[in-house]
Every structure is written in structure tokens, then in C-alpha cells.
Amino acid sequence: MASSANNNNSTIKIHDKCFVPPPNSSSPQQFSLPLTFFDLVWLRFHPVERIFFYSLPTPHSSLHSLLHQVVPNLKDSLSLTLHHFLPLAGNLVWPSDSNKPLIQYNLGDGVSLTIAESFQDLNHFLVNSPVEALDSRSLVPNLESSDSHASVISLQITLFPNSGFTIGISSHHAVLDGKSSTLFVKAWAYLCRECQLSNQESPSLVPELVPIFDKEAIKDPNGRDIMFINMWKQLSSLFDPNNDCSSNERTLKIMSSAFPPLVDDRVRATFELTRGDLDKIRKRVLSNWDMVDDDDDDDEDVVNPKLSSFVVTCAYVSVCIAKATEEESKQKGNSSSNNENKFVFGFNVDCRAKLEPPVHENYSGNCVCGHIVDAAKPEDFRKENALVIVAKKIYSKVRSFDSLEGAVDGIETLFYRGMMMLKEGVKGIGVAGSPRFGVYGMDFGWGKPEKVEITSVDRGITIGMAESKDGSGGIQVGLVLDKHVMPIFNDLFHGGLC
């Protein structure tokens, strides 16, 4: 059953709630940016929520030290960072004379920052073994949204006296994709670290961390922006019946009824695939590659495929999820409906280098396209050779992204089609994050994070993906599953690596 709670506030004490603005001396009176079709496809989607966990030695983690040293450094450097990421200090608004919303910053705007103290043990969150999914919700802030406006980003610093602290971030997906939001955190960490090391009040940001907000670089000759605005109107009437879309077609309110945190009777756990594990799975797939028929089998690239770690991880984890879900259903003695045990897999592809001309690598905004890998038969994710079947499907889909046409093919209808599949009972498995983001390099001056978690994977069946903490080339996977499904998944996941 879905829980509407976004925070378990009984476990924390709020010390302060404030808005952190960019430095006034460097801010314009007003600043606005349009939204591209890449942005509008996520207009009312749930925020992306991530937590960075930091441990500190006892002398540096007393409540006094955290409140009077750590927090001020984080706040001051956040303000400096917003000078470079000015749109993040603003809001999404929908002017009456515009047919689509935009990002607007007015002098005095800032990012919402909550300073909290947790009564829980930090080590409780650092383990990889399953913990209650609800627990992490106390460490991420709400992202405010209403009919008239929506915040771009919201932050929470949670102090764990004599242990360390966490940074929770909620970002609006219509403004930032995963690469953009991690670029912001990297810049914030860099400036915070530089302020402490160099004693400079306003250190310069290195070029590789400077964001590019050139929205004009995203061309939309097919009018996809209006298509997606209309799509959200349709989805609103289907998934948000309490919202009278006919009387308010310009709402910016996040469609929370369609994407609530699913935390009741669910647990959160982290799994590791080492480079050796990935090689083992890759060899297993390739050794059985010819046993599965595919329309493209005569293609030389498919006869001699080079399977990326992304493809291997997605295939292996999604098959384990599907089989664990099926096994748990059998143990309950549930009878299957036509769609109950049908799974689809979806993921995003970065289009920055695929656009013509390509946009800058540090383009900040959305520049991703979603795609669905729909196995040919309902039971494909659960067959004996499901790993090979699914790996082939994902590999074939990834190969189609070589061109811009392939990367954006079907984008106009894909999100709506995926949402309708979920409404009809098909189980969707998605991916959040990427091992290329380098989240374990986020050092604010007190060392690298002990753990990084994509909290919002609890809003569906989503594979939270990051690089291994030790930098050895492996992949970290975060999941939230039904508490009865998780132990079966655990056995399948580790058993398959033996």
C-alpha cells in the first residue's frame, strides 16, 4: 500500500529552515529561462531525491562542531554555488501570457534549506542489508509545488551528533536531469572544500564544473513542447482525479498521487557487483547468446556483441527482480492475471552528444530520452534463459541510439504509453542514476561520502545505480522492494554470482 508520508519527522528535530540566496552583489534583478521539450516531458513527475552520507571523527562531529563549523561552511559555499547555478535559486512559473511554463529568478529568491538533527544511529543507514524503506524519508526535504509555482531544488542537512551528517537533495526533474543535478553537487562540494583550504571568501569555479544553460541549443522543429504539455493534461485526468484539469490546465503541482513513496511493508537495500561479477555475468550471457533468436542476429555487431556494464547490470538485476516477485507470488498462492507478472524495462539515454550540433557536456537541464524495452512475451523476464533474452533486448535498444533519430524515436508517446502500462497492471522496472556520475567523489572538505543513496527509487521498482565506492570499476545497486520479495531477490542475486 502506498504511503503519502514524505518524512518520518518523529526521528528528527528541526533546528532551522531558511532560504539561501546567491550573493546579492552578483545577482540580476530578474532572470528567466524557457523549458525545452526535454524538460517538459518531466513537468509533473516526482522529484529526484538523493542522500549523501558523511562520517566524521568524534572530535569534529559534536553537535556544537556540526552546528558552528560544518553547517556555516555548507551554507556559505551553497550561496557561492548558486551564483553559477542561478536558475536553481528560482522557481518554475507559468505566466498568463505564455503557452508554457518557464524558470524565473527574482532578486531575493533562494534555495530552501532545512537544518535537522537525527535521533537515529548513522550506522543504521550505512549498512547494505535491508532496512525499513521509510527510515530514509526523514533525511530528504519536501519539494514545494502548487498550481502557480514549483521549487527547483530543496536541500536538507541532517546532523548525527558524534557520527557525521547527511545532505539530502530533492530536485525538480523538469529542470535538472541526473547529470545536471550531480554537476551542481560537485560544484558545491568543490567550492566548500576550496573555501576551507584556501581561506578565500569567493574562490573561482574550475571550468569543468561551470554549468551551461543555453536553452537555445535545443531545437524543437516538431513542436514536442506543446505535445508534452497536452500529455500531462491527459495524465492528470487519469491519475489525479481530484485535480479538475478542465478548470486549471496550467497547474505545476507535482502529480503525487501517481508517484507516491511506496514505503509500507517495503525495505531498502544496497547490492554490489564487482568488476569480476560483471565479467562473470557477461561471459554467461555471451556463451548462451546464440540460443536466443533475435531479428538482428545476422548483424555482425550482434554476432560479436560488446556488452557494457550498464547492459549487464540492468539485465541481471531486472531478471532477479522479476523472478523474486514471481516466486513470492507463488508462495502466497496468488493466481496470476494476464498482466500481473508481465514486466517492462525502461531507461534514459543522454542525448547531449547526439544532438546536431552537440550541446556542451555541462549543459544543465534535461537532455535525456526515455525508452522502454518490452520483452516479446509476458514470461520473458522469468524464463530459464531470461538473462540472455533481456540482455539481448536491452543491447538491441542501446544500439539504436547511435543516431539522433534513434535516440528520440517515439519520445512523443513513450511516457504516456509507459504510464498506461503501469495503470493496466504491468510492472515497470526503471533505472535512476549512473556509474558515470561519480557521486562518490563528492568531498565537501571532510572526506568522501560513506554512502550515496537514491531515495526516490522507492516511488516504483527502480534500480538506483552508481559506481562502486572503492573505484574498482564495479557498480552499486540500490533497491526498494516488498519485505517478502527482498530476501528472495537477495538469494537469487548472490546465488547467481556463485
What amino acid positions are annotated as catalytic residues? 173, 443
**Rounded-to-5 percentages of helix, strand, coil across the chain:** 40, 20, 40
Does an H or E element contain 454, and which?
strand 451-454
**How far are the Cα atoms of 5, 268, 325 from residue 485, in angstroms, in the given order?**
22, 11, 6
What is the pairing mode between strands 427-433 and 343-350?
Answer: parallel
Q: Are 448 and 480 in contact (CB under 8 A)?
A: no
CB atoms within 10 A of CB 369: 22
Q: Cβ-count burial of 403 within 10 angstroms (0-12 exposed, 13-18 middle, 19+ buried)? A: exposed
Task: Give the strands of the sheet with 111-118, arranged side by side.
Answer: 12-20, 111-118, 153-160, 164-171, 48-55, 451-454
Q: Beta partners for 395?
A: none
E strand map for 56-174? 91-93, 102-106, 111-118, 131-132, 149-151, 153-160, 164-171
Q: Are 448 and 441 in contact (CB under 8 A)?
A: yes
Cis peptide before 357 (omega within 30 of 0): yes
φ, ψ for residue 97, nearest 5 deg: -100, 15
Q: Are 153 and 171 in contact (CB under 8 A)?
A: yes
Cell output for 389 = 533474452
Q: Are 38 and 350 in contact (CB under 8 A)?
A: no
CB atoms within 10 A of CB 78: 24
